[in-house]
Structure 1
Amino acid sequence: MNNAQDHAFTLDEIARRLGARLVGDGTRRVSGLATLSDAGPEDITFLANRAYLKFLPDTRAAAVLLHPSHADDCPTACLTMDNPYLGYAELSALFDPLTARDAPGIHPTAVVSASASLGKGVQVGPHAVIEDGARLGDRVIVGPGCVVGTDSVIGEGSRLHANVTVCHGVVIGKRAILHSSCVIGGDGFGFAHDGSRWHKIAQLGGVVLGDDVEVGSCSSIDRGALGDTVIGDDVKIDSQVQIAHNVQIGDHSALAGCVGIAGSTKVGRNCMLGGGVGLSGHLTLCDGVQVTGMSLVTNSIHKPGVYSSGTGAMSNALWRKNAVRFKQLDDIVKRLTRLEKKQRNR
């Protein structure tokens, strides 16, 4: 159960905020958000998946957010919306205990350059460093141990959780959320080989993140070699994702954990990459592409739709047999083609 005791709202207030229809006592107050099975009499809960409908009759919650089609089955007050999961997202922000601790100001142990520019209501946590020429918009929150590099820009309302590193010359839009230990603007993986050793190629570009971008913990977005690496508006990036230099990702796309994108690949708008997906370099994915988990994409995709590669898990003995047959596929196709040709010529 996730309660924020100093966050309490009447059901009327919540209904107005969500644009929901309330059935029940609007003056009743709730101070927490919990699951159907865990909620108590001071909590509000939600039903967004029919798989959990079985828990509705026995819920002890003060109110349930749900689809209008389930209102008659609700044993307590209810708030109805056509998209209750979206309503749950808005509810979670109301009861987030993190927001209750936000207080503008610069911690005494923080190091802020005299040439940095900080907007109104900025919060800089312990041992954070704001380097020369950095610009932080209004209400930016920089957590403990963060580094904001030289000449970087962070838009208003953005939050950097503890130990985030924003390297030099990075531009981050409004309302971004960067989770702990992610690195924005580290060097891209660029080297030239002379036949015996590697020579580093200086990475001269930057990184541009649009508005409402979220980056998970321990993810890396590398700066461009010459031009910028560009992440569009409302892009959601999970933890432990690697985005190489000069990648471009279109608005409203989402990348699940452990995705890896090689350099100079372009991902369109409204794309979804499942966990562990790998994209080779210099590819283009058009708008509206969904790639399922653990797939490897080695060629550009020019038509929207769902794409997969690899094989599902099976017993090792069966996999070993199939692996042998994989190697035989080319020979089988050639033999089949010859047989079909003979059949047509009869």
Structure 2
Amino acid sequence: MFDVVIVEDEELERRALRKILEEKHDGVRVVGEARNGAEAVRLIETTHIDLMLVDIRIPRPNGLEIIQIIRDRGLPTRVIILTAYDHFDIMKEAIHLKADNFLLKPIRTAELLSAVTACIGDAAPRQEQEARKATDEFARLADENRYRDCLSMARSHLQDIFGTEGAPLHRAVRDLFDALTDSLQSRGLEVTPELAGSIRHLLDQNLDIQSHFQVQELAFQVVDQLFQVKGQGGARTSDHVQDVLNFIERNLHKRVTLEGAANFAHISPCYLSRLFRKEMDATFVSYIREQRITRAKELLGGSDLPIGNVALDLSFSDANYFCKAFKKEVGLSPTEYRRKLKDPKARLAN
């Protein structure tokens, strides 16, 4: 199913376009309408859009400016231009902006359906291939019993989804859960009714950057089921340290303590402390600190998440404490570290 947005200032035109698509094309669904450019920009920022039908003469930003915004953000949205003017200059600009089609008003039903079908036909194989790739990768990691790598992959997807300012969230989050649940089904497993209900409830909400932690927890719960994990600890093995490493990876966004990890592994904190140091050549506390700083570096370098959100994602009590801890370990504040990564000259100088 492909998500369509209609951008048209004439209400009767919008209604007619929606009616045609909803009654005569079963491959699309209209997920939004905009009467002007400002409303269209809000939809771009909050909604996944596979295809946009946009009138050139809407109140500013006009249709061509809306297409420019889509292209500047690198979004894969297909665009069909609607206009009552068969002007060479408009067509030239539309070609420059890589519009997918150009329909003259009054728009005939057959022409509209043909243009929409052509856009869907071009985009479908690519989207299906991307979805299949994610599903297969989750299933492969599960087959190889690589629990921590599977968590890392889910976290990486979430970083891409929530880490880019202005990126549409709802469809991307839905696609992630589809990939995870499809991986479950490929192994003959099903999401529990309770978790499925939680996911449906989540997807019924308006998602924003603050939804990151809720989405991550539910995604991790699906990964747990993919590995048929009991509780929240990760793939069960006879090796206590491996159990604890899985526990840490699974709960790094929470406050991980020696006592909590020991309780999970069903051993005493004292015994875990000695065992962990022997096998990992590091204390439990220093390992946690190292993992949090490593994760912080990934978030700072690979996303636009605010510093406060990075701190929350790593269970620091507040942003100031996180900044002090980060600078103590790295020698730079989080802001300085992010700036250095994004400045090629600074990287070359080092």
Same fold (TM over 0.5): no
Name the larger-Rg structure.
1
Give the structure with the larger strand fraction.
Answer: 1
Comparing both chains, which one has the higher relative contact order based on Cα–Cα distances under 8 Å and sequence gaps of 6 or more?
A: 2
Give the TM-score normalised by the residue count of structure 2: 0.27
Give the TM-score normalised by the residue count of structure 1: 0.27
Give the structure with the larger helix fraction.
Answer: 2
